[in-house]
Chains A and B, each alone.
Chain A
Amino acid sequence: MRPEIMEEVEALRGVNSVKIKEAHEAGKKVVGMYCVFSPQEIALAADAISVTLCGTAQAPIEDAEKELPRNLCPLIKSSYGFAITDKCPYFYFSDVLLAETTCDGKKKMYELMGKIKPMHIMNLPQTAEGNDALEMWKNEMIKFKSFLEEKFGVEITDEKLKDAIKLMNRERSAMRRLHKLNAHKPAPLTGVDMMLAQWLKGFNVDKEAGIELIERLISEVEERMENGIYAFDENAPRILLTGCPIGSGSEKVLKVLEESGASVVALENCTGYKGLDVLVDESKDPITALAEKYLSTPCSCMTNNNGRLDLIKRLAEEYEIDGVVDLTWQACHTYNIESFTVRNFVKDELNLPFIQIETDYSDSDVGQIKVRVEAFLETIGSTVTA
């Protein structure tokens, strides 16, 4: 059923945890990051490895709650829980951490986390509009660059930055091509597999090997498509999933959707397509180009965040979407408030069914979510046939 290479993709987490240990022992530096706003290129240009540390598992939350309020987004609690329990090899082997002043919860959590490991915080403007914001963000890029140069005793030249930009653009392009395979009707990959492939790239110690693997996966999927092998049949309702980030361990809603017969074809969230949409301009001065790319991320921490609506619209058309699901982690104010805007936009402008699901990482409400998801799919079914 599933493309064979998916097994190799899935094994990446284990493979990379060994690789990171070996790299660390060989003296390689590791930069742990938490967000799509983090300029990985600068870490790569410092000859370091960059890994994504965003917590997507329920397990460490209990420990995190000893220090953090319970009434906090599970992603923040999970990330912090991993940090204080040393249960994540990627956190363990990180020499330094990079964080941004995104939402309030993360920002304040980082203050605590910064006591555990050296941490650099990039001051993210609250808007992507106007020259001031860009100038400020450019400055932040330079400060992060100096931070790494000093910490690791290296010089980050423009040449190195340009090479890193090219490499990351290649990774993004490969990921983007993979994602776009699901624009085909019916979709060749399940949303769960797509999520895994996108999420696991964050642990790649060897970027080239990661790109090569994704390219092989694309070839296999394309071959299957030629032979008429798809993950869903033509009639499965096609869903765009937007909202808070998800990963392995926090894919509950995605799973329920697909178990109920939907084909989740587009992942608009920042663990899916959001970070792939814009490449870094290779013809510009590297710092400016990086600042422009990262500042354009349509995240709800920004005000306004109309870019998200534009992206949803484009994806809805390109992927022939039948309904939009907005996932909000409990206590995530930015996405929760923005959901009202997204709801109105999807219903009034795109004329598509919409549902917001607010939940956390635990399984306690799976039954209730199932009812909602099934009813939502029935709504889509009856409006499509009526």
Chain B
Amino acid sequence: MISIGIDVGSVAAKAAAYDGEKIIATALLPTGWSPRESGEQLLKEIMGDLNITRDDISTIVGTGYGRVSLSFIDKKVTEITCHGRGAHYIDPNIRTVIDIGGQDSKLIKLNDKGTVIDFLMNDKCAAGTGRFLQVMANALEVGVGDLSELASGTEPANINSMCTVFAESEVVSLMAEGASKEAIASGLLHSVCNKTYSLASRMGVEDKVFFSGGVSKNKKLGQLLSNKLGAEIISSNESQFLGAIGAAIIGYK
């Protein structure tokens, strides 16, 4: 039998199929205006890819913000538990997951079975999230994807404020003072790194750390985190499927 995990996030919906040993297929769609429809569409796609019918599927587990609107699922599990399980699948030595997305950042601590033993999330605030970097990239008039490269090989400018609103004006005044975009970009990444570090320190970080979420595409930030945490950081292209993978595995009995 096959189990399916569907992760409906605010931007994209992801699906993964698990056969008891490994992930055999994944699929992705923009969430669009209807989480339910994109969920259904994904299910169809993945069944088509694998050439299977609903009868071949034992369980469907839904996760992500849109999970409540999926009517066809057997079980709902939060993205925190699913991310943990997904990371464990990718590498069983992972004990910490740092997930920085557009709206929030979370830290998940796992045991050797991939079970979540503790987690932390940022509060109602954009500090240290993808949103923060997006706003700052706009202020710098560069793409958010360029920050990593810009920041490599320069001394960071000092950015004191964690608050998105205040940091934005700091960036503007730094530019007015003639600081280079490179130095500012580097300063911004240091700022996100420090914020993440302080969150992580509350929980303690051991062994391997998996870095996921949209912001994990930023290579420079990954390096900074690795130095600061003194831990090996791994990232993977499958990272955006973490929730769906975890959900599929949780559903498999």
Contacts and interface: CB of A to CB of B under 8 A. Distances in A.
Given A375-B81, A379-B115, 16 more contacts: A340-B202, A365-B124, A371-B65, A371-B79, A374-B78, A375-B78, A375-B79, A375-B116, A375-B119, A378-B80, A379-B81, A379-B116, A379-B119, A382-B81, A382-B115, A382-B116
A372 interface: yes
Identify the interface centre among A347, A353, A368, A386: most chain B CB within 10 Å of its CB: A368
Interface string B118-139: 1101011000000000000000
B178 to A, nearest CB: 34
B54 interface: no
A36 to B, nearest CB: 27
A281 interface: no
A227 interface: no
Identify the interface centre among B78, B117, B121, B123: most chain A CB within 10 Å of its CB: B78
Contacts of A375: 78-81, 116, 119
Interface string A338-371: 0010000001000001100011000011011001
Interface residues of A, number: 20
Contact of B117 (A364, A372, A379): A379
Nearest to A385: B115
A374 B79 CA distance: 10
A383 B117 contact: yes
B104 A383 contact: no
Contact of B123 (A353, A358, A379): A358
A375 B99 CA distance: 15
Contacts, number: 48
B244 interface: no
A371 B124 CA distance: 13
B77 interface: yes
Interface of B: 65, 77-81, 104, 113, 115-119, 121, 123-124, 202
B117 A368 contact: no
Interface on chain A toward B: helix, strand, loop, or mixed SS?
helix
Contacts of B123: 358-359
Nearest to A340: B202
The 5 A-B residue pairs whose C-beta atoms are closest, nearest first, are: A375-B80, A375-B78, A378-B81, A374-B78, A382-B115
B65 to A, nearest CB: 7
Contacts of A359: 123-124
B229 to A, nearest CB: 19
Contacts of B117: 353, 379, 383
B115 A386 contact: yes
A382 B114 CA distance: 10
Contacts of B104: 368
B115 A383 contact: yes
B107 to A, nearest CB: 12
B81 A371 contact: no
Contact of B118 (A379, A382, A386): A379
A376 B117 CA distance: 9
Contacts of B78: 371, 374-375, 378
Contact of A386 (B77, B81, B113, B119): B113
A199 to B, nearest CB: 26
22 contacts: A353-B118, A358-B123, A359-B123, A364-B124, A367-B65, A368-B121, A368-B124, A371-B79, A371-B80, A371-B121, A375-B78, A375-B80, A375-B119, A378-B77, A378-B78, A379-B81, A379-B115, A379-B116, A379-B119, A382-B115, A382-B116, A386-B113
B205 to A, nearest CB: 16
Contacts of B202: 340
A371 B64 CA distance: 9
Nearest to B104: A368
Nearest to A260: B78
Interface in A215-239: none
A221 B121 CA distance: 39
Contacts of B124: 359, 364-365, 368
B160 to A, nearest CB: 18
Contacts of B65: 367, 371
A165 to B, nearest CB: 43
A139 B121 CA distance: 46
A372 B115 CA distance: 16
Contacts of A371: 65, 78-80, 121
B83 to A, nearest CB: 10
Identify the interface centre among A358, A365, A371: most chain B CB within 10 Å of its CB: A371
A359 B125 CA distance: 12
A176 B118 CA distance: 33
Contacts of B121: 368, 371-372
A347 B113 CA distance: 19
Contacts of B80: 371-372, 375, 378
A318 B81 CA distance: 29
A359 B122 CA distance: 12
A203 to B, nearest CB: 32
Interface string A134-146: 0000000000000
Nearest to A358: B123
Contacts of A378: 77-78, 80-81, 116
A354 B115 CA distance: 15
A368 B123 CA distance: 9
A273 to B, nearest CB: 26
A123 B78 CA distance: 47
Contacts of A383: 115, 117
Nearest to B81: A378
A367 B202 CA distance: 24
A150 B87 CA distance: 69
A245 B80 CA distance: 28
